[in-house]
Structure 1
Amino acid sequence: MVDKNVEVQLKALGVTDPGVVAKRRDEMRASMKEDIDKCIGKRVTDSMISCVKRAENAEQIDKCLR
């Protein structure tokens, strides 16, 4: 979910270079490691994951997680 969020935010800024996206994704994962670790064990349904995969912006991702 973090990866998808980074992807849609960069896309909104016009950044589509795969190398730049991968670098930024790695940076975000590192900076959010503590928050990501807190998510382990939380219930995530198949429909939530499908919704996130289809999301095209951060607002849609937020709606998927409610």
Structure 2
Amino acid sequence: MTRHRAFLGTAAVGALATLCVLTAAGCGHPATREECLSILNKSAELKLKEDKVEDPEQVEHRKQQLLDAKGEELIGQCVGKRITDAALRCVDRATDAAAVDRCLY
């Protein structure tokens, strides 16, 4: 596994793991598969941007590698966890991978 793939996987795991914190809060609604995939994609895109991977084909290729390697596992850990509409809007506005994590706390 390359350094980029390993770190990208770690960033995505971190973003989705923080979503689990919302379960304890008891607010919001259960996250859908589409919402979880959106969070995963946003986190991956921002991490790749931070790593200076800007070629759209490379971005899509690396996101697909992540989905192929860990996508179902990560999405499975996310679907059904509680999330708020405000958290989803925050993820949409995030400008770096750390901001995605902060949105989900």
- Fold conserved between structures, TM > 0.5: yes
Distance 2:69 2:83 in 1: 22
Q: What do residues 4-49 of structure 1 show as CA deviations (whole Å, max 9, x unaligned)?
A: 1111111111111111111111111222221211211112221111
1:12-27 correspondence runs (5 A):
12-27=50-65
- What's the TM-score, normalizing by structure 2? 0.58
Q: Runs of 4 or more off by more than 2 Å in structure 1?
A: none
Match of 1:39 among 74, 78, 101: 78
Unaligned runs of 5+ in 2: 1-38
Task: Write the distance in 1 (CA, Å) between the matches of 2:82 and 2:65.
Answer: 25
Q: Percent identity?
A: 38
1:58 and 2:73 correspond: no
Residue 5 of structure 1 is matched in structure 2 by 43
Indicate the structure (1 or 2) with the bigger Cα radius of gyration: 2
What residue ranges of structure 1 are gaps of 5+ in the alignment?
A: none
Instruction: Name the amino acid aligned to 1:56.
Output: T
Which structure is higher in RCO with an 8 Å CA cutoff and minimum separation 6?
2
SS of residue in 2 equivalent to 1:15: coil
